[in-house]
Every structure is written in C-alpha cells, then in structure tokens.
Structure 1
C-alpha cells in the first residue's frame, strides 16, 4: 500500500516504537494523527518529526487510554477531523509494578494494553471501512508481545490472584492476539485487514515516565540498553504490515518479522477469542458490530 496521501492513526506516538512508526509514515507522505497521553510530550514529538520529514500533516490527539470516556471523546474528535482512516496502529502499552484500578474499575494493564485498543478500534471501524471502500483497503496493526501464557477469563481484574507485573502485562498483550483473531473473522469481506505483530526486543520505555516501570526493567535498560536494537528497527516490522503488498490479503495473523509465527495455544481457540470479545464488550459497554459468519 502506498501511504502518501493516506490517513493513519498511531497510538503511543510520542516516543519509542510509536514515534518511529510516525516518523516513517510522515517521511512517506502520510497524514498522521498522533494519539498521545501527554500534550506536552506529544507536541514536542510532532514538532521534531515535522522538522525531520518536512511533512506538516501531523495532528495531535491527547487521550489517556486508561479512560474509556477519553477514548470515546477522542473517537468522536477523529470523526470530526476525517471521513476515512486507512491505517490504524494500536501501539501504546504499559506495565505497572503494583495493582491499580482505573476510574472505570479496570486493572490498569488490561485497560491500557487490551481494552483501550479494543474500544478505540471498534469506535473507528466505520472510518476504516469507508477507506477500504473508497481506496481498496485499510489495515489495522496491533502490537503484541511474545510471552507464552494464557488469559484467566474468570479473573481479568486480578481480584483472586496475587498480582504480578509481567504476568499482567503478558496476559493483556495476549489479549491483542485474541482480539486480532476475532476481529479478522468479523471483518471478512470488508476490505479491512487486521494483524498482530511482535516487534522484537528493543530499547523502550515500557512502564512510561510516571514511575510505574519496576526497578528490574530500569536496571536492565540502564545496564544492557546499549546492546538492544533501537525502536526504528522494531518499526520496520510494523511498517511491513502497513505497506507491503505481500500481506494485502492476510488478516488475523500473528507476525514476527515478515512471516506469521506461532501464537500461544489459547489464541488459536476460536471459542476463547469469542469469549474475550464478549467480556471486552461487556467491560467497555460496547454495542458490538454484527458478526461476519
């Protein structure tokens, strides 16, 4: 897909992988809506990318993905700005050292890493379908991770188990694969594809700048960060799914590099995918679109 003249939305766009993806899309002439939690950091990143690429078609959306009210307001704002959305990159994610709930009563990692992209994507599906109908296709890329785990559908909020940061992160990110599988099934025949990608291990600020990241991750980054690939390398995997003609007709896949890789066993169970969709719709108050059987 040629992205020049197309409209993209990237979450977590002010740093790390998200910023690298925006930089690459802007360099290719796309209009990019940059969804960021911090207006200040988002504006700084936007100005830096405009200076580097000469592309002034970068627009800032300030949204806290832990807040469903924020997500709904942002989706409404996107509808006011654009009539079609060609590319959606659900990149933003975080990990929290301690158990905490959002204002919606949702465990924070689940809220940001799974329910946030689930709700945002569903609220923007009409714009993605409009782009597919007008221009022959639209693509969604969900950024996942590679942790062999399974989701406990009976305790998504960690109310009955001891909370562990990386276990919560792994399960929430596994939700991205479940979501990808079920959404692909529902979007069959619409011209909108959705795939999930493991971007590889790279130097990132997992946990953010608000002190949520635990000491072990901080120590690892400080000690071994020099040896890790930069976000720009990881962004190549995302850009491949956004732009390559080789994957134009692929949907519902879990990629590592340029080929599908094996997902945790639970994500290959259609019943599990449907169950997480049901629970996610319930937790977000979403009226789900009609199924494509």
Structure 2
C-alpha cells in the first residue's frame, strides 16, 4: 500500500496519466476517476505497472452530470478512510458549442461545476484526513489560457461564443476555484493551488475543427511532453509544504513556482462570487 492516497480526474490519458504514473513511482495509492471505463481500465493497468506495490482503483463518472459525480464521491467515501490529494485535472476543448439544460456551456459545466461538485462532495473525507495529518492538497489544472477567460461570461448562454473563449472561461474558473478553496479551508490543514502545465503535446484539442484545431496540430511538435507538463502538479502533490511556501496557498503555479497573473478578474471577491454562484448546482 502507498504512503498517501491521491485522486486524479481524467487520469486515463495525457497529463492525468503522466501525473498518475509519476505519483505511483512516489508510492502514492491512486484513484483514477474517468468517464470512459475501457480507457480507464487500460490506464489503471499502465499505472499499476509503474509500481506494482501500490493500489490503483478506477472509478467512473461523467463530470458533466452532477448526479454521476455525487455517486462516484459516495463510493469513494464509503471505500476510503483517507484522501490526501485531490487533483482536478480533467478538461477538454469543445469541438462545438453545446449547452446543458440549464443553458450553461457544456465544457464549463464539466470543467468547473463538475470539479466543484466533486470537491464539495468529498469535503468530509478531505477534512477528516486533514484532521489526522494536517496536510491535504487540492490541485486544479488551469492554463495560461485563463487570460482569455472573462468572469462576465460565466453561467451565461452565448451562442456565438468562440471556442478559445469558452476554454479560457473554463481555465479562469479553475484558477478562481482554487483561490476560493484556500479561503474556505483556511486553518483546516487543507491547501489549494492552480497550475499552468505549459503547452503540452497530447490528444487535447485534436478533434477541434477550424482554426483552433489547426493551431493545436501546427504547434504539436513544439509542445512539452505530458511527463514534463505534469511536473508542476507532481511537485504540488508531493513536495514538502515548506518547499511550496505557506504564503502560496491558493496560488497559481507554473514550472513548479508561483506565477503572477495580470488578469483583472483574478480577485478574492470574484473567487468568492464564483463559489456562491456555483453552490446551487451541487
């Protein structure tokens, strides 16, 4: 069995799989939360090979469906007595704009609301672990693309929204969510961070049509490997808190260091606004 337990969403490919392999090699037990069971089983076997002495479990859930997320969280709470690290990694560029029944752009729902709901439903387990260890971490995968996001578009149906803008909104929300988590869990032994992994060469965006898809394909050879892209997440999950820095709780990281963002929407007030605006969906 491992020294700690980490849950990774979207752990079946790309950054999530590279992160899972790296944490397995550091003797973490792992829960891979994936939407596709077949791909999840392949990833589970892959990660297990990286370290046969740790436990690797697959849990399926659709982050675009809050009921599915709650069911997965209930399973985890009933089968695990600790959760040291939660990595909200899953995300995607929408191939086309789609909206939920609530009128919310679907990738925003999955990337932000789905992860918010998962974190919310696992709060009891996270706080229980923190009471025992004093060190629980929540890591949200954001991106430098958060600079394209705008808080004023959150939760609105905009039929002509550009795909890059939709992605930017998702990543801005991930960053603000980490900031609000740090505030809400202050003093409870739980820290939270958001991460820019760099431009990573994965299948991400491969099914995106038009100009956006061409950009991903053109720059693919110049991008980082998933293993290099996962380094900051692995650092935040496994390094001593002293190395991360107590004052960096809630911060935005790149290349394993805190990074300033000039985005005017990144404020404590907007982080709290987003928290309150999201709560009715869980």
TM-score w.r.t. the length of structure 2 is 0.91
Name the structure 1 match of 2:231: 236
Change (3 A) 1:146 1:223: closer
Name the structure 1 match of 2:3: 5
Contact 1:67–1:102 under 8 Å retained in 2: no
Whole-Å separation in 1 of the counterparts to 2:234 and 2:275: 27
Q: How many equivalent pairs are there?
A: 278
Whole-Å separation in 1 of the counterparts to 2:211 and 2:200: 16
Name the structure 1 match of 2:125: 127
CA positional deviation for 1:269: 2.0
Name the structure 1 match of 2:268: 270
CA positional deviation for 1:82: 0.6
Whole-Å separation in 2 of the counterparts to 1:151 and 1:278: 17
- Residues 25-40 of structure 1 correspond to what in structure 2 (within 5 A)? 25-40=23-38
CA positional deviation for 1:21: 0.6
- The Cα RMSD (Å) is 2.0
TM-score w.r.t. the length of structure 1 is 0.88
Whole-Å separation in 2 of the counterparts to 1:255 and 1:8: 19
Whole-Å separation in 2 of the counterparts to 1:221 and 1:207: 6
Name the structure 2 match of 1:89: 87
CA positional deviation for 1:43: 0.1
Change (3 A) 1:264 1:162: farther
Whole-Å separation in 2 of the counterparts to 1:151 and 1:88: 26
CA positional deviation for 1:265: 2.9
CA positional deviation for 1:135: 1.7
Secondary structure of the 2:137 match is strand
One of 184, 188, 191 as aligned partner of 1:190: 188
Contact 1:138–1:192 under 8 Å retained in 2: yes
Name the structure 2 match of 1:291: none
Secondary structure of the 1:268 match is coil
One of 241, 244, 249 as aligned partner of 1:247: 244
Q: Deviations over 1:147-204 (max 9, x none)?
A: 3234243x43442462211101101110011111111111110000001110111102
One of 117, 120, 133 as aligned partner of 2:115: 117
Contact 1:132–1:190 under 8 Å retained in 2: yes
Q: Structure 2: which 5+ runs fail to align?
A: none
Contact 2:134–2:188 under 8 Å retained in 1: no
| Comparing 74-83 and 249-258, the one that deviates more | 249-258
Q: Deviations over 1:251-276 (max 9, x none)?
A: 11011112211224334322211111
Name the structure 1 match of 2:209: 214
Change (3 A) 1:126 1:264: farther
Contact 1:98–1:163 under 8 Å retained in 2: no
Name the structure 1 match of 2:199: 201
Contact 1:131–1:138 under 8 Å retained in 2: yes
- Residues 276-291 of structure 1 correspond to what in structure 2 (within 5 A)? 276-282=274-280, 284=281, 286=282
Secondary structure of the 2:30 match is strand
Q: Deviations over 1:60-90 (max 9, x none)?
A: 0111111111111111111111121100000
Whole-Å separation in 1 of the counterparts to 2:9 and 2:157: 28
Change (3 A) 1:241 1:130: same
One of 158, 161, 164 as aligned partner of 1:163: 161
Whole-Å separation in 2 of the counterparts to 1:120 and 1:34: 13
CA positional deviation for 1:29: 1.4
